[in-house]
Structure 1
């Protein structure tokens, strides 16, 4: 999945203002996968959503101090979302490999029952992880994840380096 372009970045602008644009695009990118990702058969959508969660997480981990405490919490939530979707993805890529191996082996091969059992375990694990994913997403929505993160990046009361604009020595980015 190719990342959405972030338009309007001003290389001479305040870093926090410009990073806020990136966070907003990455957040929109992540949220755009719903409701399609609610379909357990939407394997590629889920994989792309995992990548979008990773992109959002990384930018938040780097710049959370510029956006206040909720940005750090949002980074942790993005990681949890990324992890559970990653568990689903692991099942999605392993099960076809098992099926291909089973197809290569004779039907009476002694490995067939074990491979069939492993496929069943992975199918069950995938189902369980998919339920966890839906529960996690629903909790994020219930806690207004998107709204709260949007507020955090648009209503900062600091200089972009995590310090109040009026406190101490000004950063290079804040007016002197």
Structure 2
């Protein structure tokens, strides 16, 4: 009884492709010659050196603009100046206050490496002290991403000077 056709037209606006940042934090004890990176916890003693590796990835579909990465070191864990590397290239010592690693296109990853040193024995109580280290990455157009790693510092109550044979 009816004949004809109905035609619908629709105009779709611009689809905005959003970035999604992730940060993966790993640590290892350089003084103990650890070969493997740890995702969560390592064991150490006062004065030992700990390496930190941060891997920042854009898992979204758009470019992450002006990516800033920061690592908040806990008390008793001190940054080694001049140790920061971005994709194996030396960069400014700004990882503590915020290192601008530029833009990350969809699927792109950048890696930051730096070293820290644990404080001297007088800064620790006898036994085990756990230090948690937080890193974060953010961009002008992406939400912040965080990751942590911890160092379990054991101190037996004797300084390295007291442990030398001539001081016993």
Instruction: From the two aligned structures, give the one with the greater helix fraction.
Output: 1
| Same fold, TM-score > 0.5, yes or no | no
Superposition TM-score, scaled by structure 2 size: 0.29
Which has more radius of gyration?
A: 2
Superposition TM-score, scaled by structure 1 size: 0.28
Instruction: From the two aligned structures, give the one with the greater strand fraction.
Output: 2
